[in-house]
Amino acid sequence: MMKQTPISLAVYCALCIIPTTLSATPLADEQAQQNTEQSSIQNIEKIEVTGRYIEGYNAHSVSGASRLDLAISDIPQSVSVITDAQLRDFQLNDINAALDSATGINVERIETDRTYYTARGFDVTNFQVDGVGLPLTNGNNHSDEDTAIYDRIEVIRGANGLMTGVGNPSATVNFIRKRPTANNQLNLSASYGSWNNIRLEADGSARLNDTFSGRIVAVNQTKDSYLDRYQSDKSVLYAFIEANLSDDTSLSVSHSYIHNDASGNNWGALPLFYTDGSATDYARSTNTSANWSNWLVEKQNTVVELSHYFSNDWRLRATYSYKTRDEDTELFYVYGTPDKNTELGLTGYGSEYDLDEKHHLFDLYVNGDIELFGREHQLVAGINYAKADYTDISLYDYSTGNGFPDMPDLNTWDGNTPKPIFKDKPSGSDVSAEQRAAYFTGRFNLFEDFHLIAGGRFNQWQSEGISYGKVQDADDSQFIPYLGMVYRLIPEVVAYASYTETFVAQTELDINDQTLAPVTGESKELGIKGELFNGRLLTSIAYFDIQQVNLAVADPNTADLPPTLPLQRYIGADGIDSQGYELEVAGEVFDGFNVSLGYTDFDIDGNEQVAAYTPSKLLKLAATYDVSAIDGLTIGMNMRWQDDIHRNQGEVGSGFANAGQTIITRQDAYAIVDLMARYQITDRLGLSLNANNVTDEKYLTSLYWAQGYYGAPANYSATLSWAM
């Protein structure tokens, strides 16, 4: 919602009158003074300054696409921002729910506690906090990550070569953390929803004195699930302390802690077809987890920031981040293909999995303006260092008979199976990776209304270790160019073009025992952006073309050898190509009506399986309206739609009339519609009602893997919030 806050400024002049003679009486003196003051007040000039504060779905600038802090319209790439208002309106309390609302992002929920993300046909692995981060380990996110500590979420689609370098040319997700506010504030909320979903949240900010200010966020959430046996208990604590050491220098220290304890979580998911090739159709509540399954994840992140402004308007910013992730799990997997008549034929598979991961991240840059040839230009130069170490171990049970039990009918199974003794066949990973980078960017004002953004990043990537028997040694250096052009056609509309790259190191060897060169992702984009209604509404349309080059594939000369043998070798080949367009609208259409609309349409070449299971058309729509007839009432809708997808699952085996027929698992196009209503009871007290999947759509959450499970049915929640 966009609000107008008039600020009236009165300029008072103190008139000092020194009498040279005494008045006849004190009463006459007082009356004369009153007349003088009244005359002065009547003649005072009043100046009214009107400011606009946007707290709806319109964000004007982002920091993750470059260090230039440009307006969105000046960035030559597709950019989306999920604002704090959108997160609150639709109770998008975890990153999966939040990214469901982001233009072009597809959330692949393969399990209850493991998720992949894709954009433009490629996995999204670059997740940053305030512009600093490394790609996700193993390319996926584990457990529920809360959004309460973030002010907004920025999504830069395409390759983001300047700020990431390593990764896929899909998108970069940048989480912007909450910081102390100018005024003291305290926000409390309590929610209750379907399946005993109880959430308590506190968010307070205080200015302690002229030097120190702080912010604290605390969350506790417990919930059952529509899935049998699945429960979770999540706690979040976040503290941010900032010290203004001088007018030009500030230092901050922050720490976040997330504890997520899930039980009854699945590892893998439901089988999607029977032995005769026909599709299974389980109840949405069916779960493959054992009653002893559990997945405990603890994530911590400590960040130290130093910022200094020089007298010539240049700025230095240094950031150090230390992140840890610890996981302890006992998991149960179900595999095989059931018989349609008996529902038997599946086998259980127990495992214990433990992970210890540590990240050290350091980033230092300077940015500022220079004047050349009578025009002002912007420059950024920085260095970046990152180190990641992770060890994990998997244990199994091959001795007691409980490690691989025959499974009963999943439709009636209650999760009861003897717990294995996890002590056999230990395997795992011990990997260390380092990245050193130097980057520079210039935004050059070449002539009126035309800017050239040019820069590059030199990345050196080293990794060593072993992961489940596969050597992870790699040593690559790469220069990653960035080129963008922005031309303002009219004050409200710009046209842009950009080219950038990313790379991913490979560990495969060629026929000469040399490590293959990195996979390169090349991203080209053309587009038009508009700022309508005095900047209240941002619009954009973009065409993109992305190519993946030098992907490792088996060398035909050794393709028949088992991949476990050291004799198999690889060659570089073209990988996935994707081309398409995106349309986005975000902001306030008219007073009280906020909207965020995104549509993506693209084609994938180079991998038929990826093209089949990836939605190629995505529509995201979030809108809220302040009902003018009822003061304090806001209503809204959040909707996501995707086209149909499918997956080739092989062929029907012998013994059936349709033996040899291709097995195809299909998910028809579907839309998930969420509704909300909020009533501001008083200035401080508000009540929100949310209804999710109101049409009770039954759908598979993903076909990224050969297994899958169903999304949540219709569910509801109520939130009471209080602000001071």
Domain ranges of the chain: 2-51, 55-723
Average pLDDT over residues 11-38: 39
Confidence class for position 63, pLDDT limits 50, 70, 90:
low
Q: Can you read off the two tokens belonging to residue 618?
A: 């995505």
CB-count burial class (<10 Å; 0-12, 13-18, 19+) for 385: middle
Nearest alpha-carbon partner for 394 in 331, 351, 350, 349: 351
pLDDT at 65 over 90: no
Q: Can you read off the two tokens belonging to residue 457?
A: 């990043």
Would you list the DSSP string of 294-354? EEEEEEEEEEEEEEEE-TTS-EEEEEEEEEEEEEEEEEEEEEE---TTT---EEEEEEEEE
Classify 101 as helix, strand or coil.
coil
Average pLDDT over residues 199-212: 96
Q: Can you read off the two tokens belonging to residue 248?
A: 């030009």
Work out the number of other CB atoms within 10 angstroms of the CB of residue 204. Answer: 17
- Position 330 scores a pLDDT of 97
pLDDT single digits (tens) 219-246: 999 999 999 999 999 999 999 999 999 9
Specify the CATH superfamily of domain 55-723. TonB-dependent receptor, beta-barrel domain (2.40.170.20)
Average pLDDT over residues 651-655: 94
Cα separation, 301 vs 43, whole angstroms? 59
- Position 162 scores a pLDDT of 66
pLDDT single digits (tens) 593-630: 999 999 999 999 999 999 999 999 999 999 999 999 99
In this predicted structure, which of 412-426, 514-528, 586-600 has the lowest mean pLDDT? 514-528
Would you list the DSSP string of 36-74? HHHHHHHTPPEEEEEEEEE-SS---B-SSS-SS--BGGG
Cα separation, 166 vs 461, whole angstroms? 8
Nearest alpha-carbon partner for 151 in 109, 200, 113, 203: 203
Cα separation, 2 vs 594, whole angstroms? 9
**Under 8 Å between Cβ of 596 and 622:** yes
Classify 382 as helix, strand or coil.
strand
* pTM summary value: 0.89
- Position 519 scores a pLDDT of 85
Q: What percent of the chain has pLDDT over 70?
A: 90
pLDDT single digits (tens) 464-477: 999 988 888 888 88
- Position 8 scores a pLDDT of 34
Q: What is the mean pLDDT of the chain?
A: 89
Cα separation, 250 vs 272, whole angstroms? 56
**Under 8 Å between Cβ of 535 and 60:** yes
Average pLDDT over residues 702-723: 97
722, β-bridge pairs: 188, 685
pLDDT single digits (tens) 69-101: 788 999 999 999 999 999 999 999 999 999 999
pLDDT single digits (tens) 674-703: 999 999 999 999 999 999 999 999 999 999
- Position 283 scores a pLDDT of 97
Selected residue with higher pLDDT from 317 and 573: 317
For the four alpha carbons of 124, 129, 133 and 137, in that order, the dihedral sign comes to negative
Cα separation, 675 vs 637, whole angstroms? 5
pLDDT at 16 over 60: no
- Position 563 scores a pLDDT of 53
Confidence class for position 40, pLDDT limits 50, 70, 90:
very low
Confidence class for position 358, pLDDT limits 50, 70, 90:
very high
